[in-house]
Structure 1
């Protein structure tokens, strides 16, 4: 059996939704599911090695109660045959989950936790996991559309390659089509929040569309050969990145985006775009760094 799927549990409705999603992901991968409950003070420091809790606190495992029991029930209902394991740790939830991701194939969290201290999200934990996690991170927001495609945001930077491979693998695992989107941002229009481009922006739409198609062709070529069973639709778009991805997510089962290692988002996920996707996408979002998958 391969590396398990790890899911953060804090008893909130959002984390329980994440448990169900994580259980189904573990089932299609043929791996176990590890339920991780962390409590403690939030810290901006994420250790690079070593467990982020004190061995002296190992007795906290005795505090496992209805929180993990309910999570286990939800997991078994969603995927009856999945092998379950549970961990309770005293420490910063994001640090605990980052450490757990070292031995995970996928780390899953909900979009809203319990409060601002022990809650798994919204805010710092998602950013910490995306920047420091050692495997893809799946943030469960609204339920994805049943029968919808895996939506892949394709960048023209190397950081996009692991996200492309992850998206193809997800599409094959779930028997879903894949829609690959590359957004060309004309001039400064990406930062413009109006309904149309501002009057000072001029560009050659034909050239931009040709460039977008070339980016898609280059990014998808290897995986299309590796995953011939996946139906792929290309969407070269000229417009605003945030608006395009959030709107397209309404019809998707999953949105996959890439991120550069070392803590910074690149390309499609620069600055406010990352916030828009993680906070406003209308389906689960998978963030895949350019490291190990």
Structure 2
């Protein structure tokens, strides 16, 4: 990421329903703050695959996966935006990275105003708990974090 990139609101999106709710909240936060919105998704590297298919094959496959992920993320942004009562009127930038969601979001937290993530509770007592990504981001981010619960 370029150092000249304006500070903004970052939201982690993985296509899940909690992430879609987080995206909706992040759109509102970005508009209220007059900041750009960075919609971020990540694809963890697969080191075992790199050993089985070294060199250009791995790089080509990774680039294809990241391109497909970008399309899915852009589609998610369009769907969430069209479902809003008032469509998002700010600048939204989709960014796709190779790496874990936690490491990408923590890295971005060092350069931006806020990170928004969805909670991953799934019934019973686990509803009281955050998912592993949201927990790590809450505990280690360099900026404020908003966790959107269902």
TM range (shorter): 0.7 to 0.9
> Relative to total residues, which structure has the larger helix share, 1 or 2?
2
Q: Which residue does 2:108 correspond to in 1?
A: 248
TM (norm. structure 2) is 0.74
Deviation at 1:209, TM superposition (A): 0.9
Counterpart selection for 1:186 from 45, 48, 54: 45
1:200 aligns with 2:14: no
Q: Which residue does 1:238 correspond to in 2?
A: 98
Would you say how many aligned residue pairs link Structure 1 and Structure 2? 132
* 1:258-273 correspondence runs (5 A): 258-261=118-121, 262=123, 263=126, 270-271=131-132, 273=133
Label 1:201 to 1:241 Cα distance change in 2 as closer, same or farther (>3 A). Answer: farther
Question: Structure 2: where are the runs of 5+ without partners?
Answer: 1-5
Q: CA RMSD in A?
A: 2.6
Runs (4+) of structure 1 moved beyond 2 Å?
197-203, 222-228, 260-265, 273-276
Separation in 2, partners of 1:241, 1:201:
24
Question: Structure 1: where are the runs of 5+ without partners?
Answer: 1-146, 190-196
TM (norm. structure 1) is 0.40
Counterpart selection for 1:222 from 69, 74, 79: 79
Counterpart selection for 1:169 from 14, 19, 28: 28
Separation in 2, partners of 1:172, 1:209:
28
Counterpart selection for 2:70 from 213, 226, 235: 213
